[in-house]
Amino acid sequence: MDSSIIADRRRLRRKLGFWRVIAVALIVALGFAFYRFALGDAGTERPHIAHVTISGLIVDDDELLERLKKVEISDQVKAVVISISSPGGTTYGGEKIFKAIRAISAKKPVVSDVRTLAASAGYMIATAGDTIIAGDSSITGSIGVIFQYPQIQPLLDKIGVSLQEIKSSPLKAEPSPFHEASEEAKAMIRNMVVDSYNWFVDLVADRRKLPRDEVLKLADGTIYTGRQALKVKLVDAIGGEAEIRAYLTSRGVDSDLPMVDWDKKSNTPFLLAGAVSRLITIFGYDDLMKTQDINGILPPKLLLDGLLSVWQVGHD
């Protein structure tokens, strides 16, 4: 048989194999989607303790806020555990999540579970719980607010580029990365930072039932281990699931209730794409579908904007 005919048949078989994989993936994904959307989530349809994980940088997250609202109004949720692993993020994002958790706490017990890290806005969120339980070596604290902006004028000077501007008033569009900030601009930003800082301090003083002067001593940006935080009353106990269960039992929550994860759910289109992608990789067709995620290119903190409450390691 001619070698070209053999090669053509092999290419045809390869193409048929690829589309068979696609078809199987679609059938599996559609079946799973039907189960999810037609039959619902069995775990959340009976009395349980809701477990919500908040991790990474804190931002104004509509999906998380909507999920917390569902937890709040669900009659099947008898208590809530908020597990936090975050260095902080935007002050506004932390404020929104804090208020959402406080709304839940008005209806059912809430435990803040500090995992590896709950600093700055992460700690702000933790204070929304009725009690805070941390690990011995958890990192928390870093109470404060920061505003940062780049200064690229020296770079522009080196390459011979200048920027001219005409504006309605001296403080318009200040601070600017294209020139050194004036003392008036620095004072404006400083006042804004101090105002947000005072709000943060008052929030901690209120939630932790501490005198404001005492909180001010703690709110200098210092971070604490779980054991240190316990000594200065920033957390209530050291422990894990056993201590969480014990606290909830003291609040009248049935100790036999299952703990059900209320994590972010994938939408159907992404579910289909994920199933297809996995099967393509398994069957060796991944070279046909190459993608690049922008999140792997830019550091996450570069995507934040506005006033920040975030613990930054190694920042000079």
Q: How large is the average pLDDT for residues 211-237? A: 97
Instruction: Mark whether 198 and 101 lie in a shared domain.
Output: no
Instruction: Mark whether 156 and 20 lie in a shared domain.
Output: no
Instruction: Mark whether 54 and 157 lie in a shared domain.
Output: no
Question: Distances in Å between the alpha carbon of 266 and those of 33, 36, 78, 93?
Answer: 10, 11, 25, 22
Q: How large is the average pLDDT for residues 103-128? A: 96
Give tens-digit pLDDT for 274-309. Answer: 445 555 555 454 444 444 444 444 455 544 555 666
Single residue among 199, 220, 241 that ends a domain in this structure? 220
Instruction: Mark whether 229 and 140 lie in a shared domain.
Output: yes
Range with the poorest average pLDDT among 155-164, 238-247, 249-258: 155-164
25 lies in which domain range? 1-40+266-289
Name the active-site residue from 69, 70, 99, 172.
172
Q: Does 140 fall in a domain?
A: yes
Instruction: Mark whether 65 and 172 lie in a shared domain.
Output: no
Higher pLDDT, 131 or 285: 131
264 is catalytic: no
Q: How large is the average pLDDT for residues 107-129? A: 96
Q: Is pLDDT at 242 greater than 60 in this prediction?
A: yes
Name the active-site residue from 120, 138, 142, 176.
120
With beta carbons less than 8 A apart as the criterion, state whether 75 and 50 touch. Answer: no
Instruction: Mark whether 61 and 101 lie in a shared domain.
Output: yes
Instruction: Mark whether 98 and 247 lie in a shared domain.
Output: yes
CA distance 257 to 210: 33
Is 37 buried (19+), middle (13-18) or exposed (0-12) by CB count in 10 A?
exposed
CA distance 259 to 279: 31
Strands 223-225, 259-261: pairing is unpaired
Q: How large is the average pLDDT for residues 102-115? A: 97
DSSP track, 200-255: HHHHHHHHHT--HHHHHHH-SS-EEEHHHHHHTTSSSEE-SHHHHHHHHHHTT--T
CA distance 282 to 235: 46
142 is catalytic: no
What contacts 126, CB < 8 A, 6 or more positions away?
82, 84, 112, 114, 118, 132, 140, 235
End-to-end alpha carbon distance in the chain: 72
Single residue among 166, 194, 220 that ends a domain in this structure? 220
